Chains A and B, each alone.
Chain A
Amino acid sequence: DTAVSQTPKYLVTQMGNDKSIKCEQNLGHDTMYWYKQDSKKFLKIMFSYNNKELIINETVPNRFSPKSPDKAHLNLHINSLELGDSAVYFCASSRGTPTYEQYFGPGTRLTVT
């Protein structure tokens, strides 16, 4: 069984479009995260939710809006896509604080043309 899944795996779209990435975890974890990995592999946290409540909101353009309908799901909606949004986006989950192991999804490679 897949622990953390993301859809889609690849997303190619044009500038100005709106797109969503979905994430689901079946581990029973309380905390979920979105990370962005750039072309140089640098990984930076974007958002974190604990029990559906936003607890980390890094300096991210407000075109990015996370939504957590329940503890097992954390979706990422991006409005008015820009070239610089091209990256791999990873969802992750953990039992509580990051002191516990984080489980990562396989990533969504977003390409904006």
Chain B
Amino acid sequence: GNSVTQMEGPVTLSEEAFLTINCTYTATGYPSLFWYVQYPGEGLQLLLKATKADDKGSNKGFEATYRKETTSFHLEKGSVQVSDSAVYFCALSYQGGSEKLVFGKGTKLTVNP
């Protein structure tokens, strides 16, 4: 079936460190891929997305590239800030009867000053 696997957390970094959160997917056809972020005590919000192979999504210094050959959509940021501390969810959408989002299990990021 369709699924998303992302790296286990938690991830703890110092401010200005480089961030990578790995995400791989299993899907039939050509899904759209997303990263959502959940700040403490809040709902999820879309961070970036890519709808076809080789697309790069970017927002707030975060980037992810849709790699069909490796079925991956890794999230990267060159220099994290304390305010980036949150839980990050990789997700895909597919047309399976009714289109819906399938989420990974989330990766908690803590950035220390």
Give the residues in chain B near A41, CB-CB below 8 Å: 38, 87, 105-106, 108
Interface SS of chain B:
strand
Select the stretch in A12-20, A59-67, A69-77, A103-111 that faces chain B. Answer: A103-111
Complex contact A102–B49 (CB within 8 A): no
Complex contact B32–A106 (CB within 8 A): no
Interface SS of chain A:
strand
Q: Which of B27-51 contact A (CB under 8 A)?
A: 32, 36, 38, 41-46, 49, 51
Query: Bound state CA distance, A99 and B101, in angstroms?
Result: 8
Q: Contacts A45-B101, A56-B100, A104-B44 known; A97 to B93 CB distance under 8 Å?
A: yes
Partner of A104, one of B43, B95, B99, B106: B43
Give the residues in chain B near A92, CB-CB below 8 Å: 43-44
Complex contact B43–A107 (CB within 8 A): yes
A87 to chain B, nearest CB (A): 14
Interface size on B, residues (CB 8 A): 23
Partner of A106, one of B43, B51, B103, B105: B43
Give the residues in chain B near A101, CB-CB below 8 Å: 46, 49
Complex contact A56–B32 (CB within 8 A): no
A83 within 8 A of B: no
Which partner residue on chain B sits nearest A107 by CB separation? B43
A27 within 8 A of B: no
Complex contact B43–A4 (CB within 8 A): yes
Listed by A's residue number, 7 A-B pairs whose Cβ atoms lie within 8 Å are: A41-B87, A48-B100, A55-B98, A90-B43, A98-B32, A99-B32, A102-B46
